[in-house]
Structure 1
Amino acid sequence: MPTSSDRFSDIRPYNDDEIQPAIQRVINSDEFMDAIVSFRFSKIAKFAGFMLKPLLRRYFLYKWGGINSIDEMQQVVGGYMKHMIASTTTKFSYSGLENLDANKNYLFVSNHRDIAMDPSFVNWALFSENFRTVRIAIGDNLLSKPFSSDLMRMNKSFIVKRALTAPREMMKAVLQLSDYIFSSLQTDSSIWIAQREGRAKDGFDKTEPAIIKMFYMNGKKKKIAFSDYIKQLNIVPVAVSYELDPCDKQKAKELYDKAETGEYNKSEFEDIESIVRGIVGQKGHVHVAFGKVIDGDFEDAEQVAGAIDEQIYQNYYLHPSNFIAAQQELEKVTESDNQAFAAHLKGIAPELQETVLKMYANPVKNSLS
């Protein structure tokens, strides 16, 4: 585990010497093995799970036993990404990196549609153009299991503490996070963070000013003027767009239940299921649009959030699925596009289809606004 010798030891990604111990903990975790068996071998899990677990442990030891650094782990993840893109997308594209410098660090503030895939696609685009990959902000609500925390932190993720309730502890955690982001940008890494807490389940991307206020906490403590501090962060808005969202049905169910009954009860493994579904589900064409560094004399967090939103709306790549759902610019839609989206909607319960259509239509409305 991380030593307590540095002030970020409880939230930062693992260092090289912590990778192999973390791998051993993951491989020896019964909960990790149970999750793999139930998702990958669901049909035979009940009667053959006890036989599969030792075989899976041997497999992961063979695949991961020789990994001793972050770079080696990134190479393994890169192999998985290549396979995932080939098997679950019809096309992957990106734009805007020509406006950025591979030798500089940036704070990438991204719209948020998929728990694991948003930062993964951002990283793949950066990697493709010889930029360094980013450190990824991830909420502790996704790390309820020790194995999931280990997996994330050995893949350059750092922890955003959301579960705290005591005001003093919350303030301390926000200051630590703000300091960590600034320190990373000033020294050795770019950062990826979502523009809001939780995914935009309705497809309406909107930056939370609270995120910007968190960025500034470190500047405020150091008595640096707001506008000056924001300029030092090199904020770049990023728009990730999926032609098809593998989790649209589940997002619509949550929105529908909340609208009908006022509440939605999340199951124990729902976040992990969403991560798996996002990875293995069909996504169609995926595009990552990098904006330009936001520039200007901003007076407050709301102005910065507005500037981020403006670029995300302008740069968001609109797919045929978006035009069909919004009933806009249908001259850009082919008959095969119509058939493909109709086939996708067929797999969604009738009472959820209106919610799903709004989800795909909202980026068009934001673009036009």
Structure 2
Amino acid sequence: MKFIDEARISIAAGDGGNGIASFRREKYEPEGGPDGGDGGHGGNVHFVADRNVNTLIEYRYRRRFNAKRGENGRSSDCYGKRGPDLTLRVPVGTVIADVNSNRILADLDCDGKKVLLAKGGRGGLGNVHFKSSVNRTPRQCTRGEPGEQRDLRLELRLLADVGLLGLPNAGKSTLLRAVSAARPKVADYPFTTLEPHLGVVRVDDERSFVIADIPGLIDGAADGAGLGIRFLKHLKRTRLLLHIADLAPTDPAADPVRDARAIVHELERYDPELARKPRWLVLNKLDLIPPDELEARIAGFLQACQADDVPCFRITAISGGGCRELMQRLQETLDRLPRPAMADAATAGDGESSWPALPPDETQPSQA
């Protein structure tokens, strides 16, 4: 199934049915009086989060959704039937915003969460409501009210605890395969990952967390280079970011320091709040560096990035070296970090460092 994470649709609740003006016409009842019934209310439009729905593909090719209108009233005091509600199912993590005001209307961040976004119109009144002692034959009735209409923007933001950042071919998908049952595509050319992937990391029988892998960023991603930054929204709900750095690039012209700075720059350009999330540095592909050069190259990289006090981990994702220790430290830290709704103040740095530090016991590098 094609992964669709954005859609723009229009919704309309049902109009109310019209009231009716009628009078009783029965044998031996020449002046039976008014008996016009009310119109039924129009159907509402609801959105509900469903864990069995994975993408917004249903809303990419169908853009208009209308609820049914209410039935008109009838004689003999018969009220019109209410229009059935329309319920639209979306993936868990969908954010719904109004296109015209750009205001967020709903954040469906848990399974089964339901929200009313367009209310049906009220049914019109029949003439039975207008009778009085001085108006015994009312011929007035009212029309049903129109239902609400909205133009909406749907945006799916994946629910994950940890997000992976890095250049194409830095080893993000390889790491995800090494620590979870997810099987994203891995190959020796850039942009093998074209859509986000989720993997569940089970640390022990009772604890686990979710990692999100998104397509790699390159310098100029905010201006549309590569796959751009459209997938960065999937990291907004994460509590911690892993910046995967390739210290042994195959391209002779590549500079790991310049590439690491480019990732941080693109992140800040996209969303400063996202850039303030706790971010760890993970050095990958260390098995490709000669042992006698390893320590000097790592020290030079950290000094050039001004990341000497950043939680730093050394791994070899293709063989799994250092991955288990990294996952253990992640779980211990996630147990202490607040959930996304409470994390804004807790994860904000001092505004100067590009690498927000964690508590003192998390600042010692882990050796693979």
| TM beyond 0.5 | no
TM-score (normalised: structure 1)? 0.29
| Bigger relative contact order, structure 1 or 2 (CA pairs below 8 A, ≥6 apart) | 1
| TM-score when normalising by structure 2 | 0.29
Larger Rg belongs to: 2
Higher strand share: 2
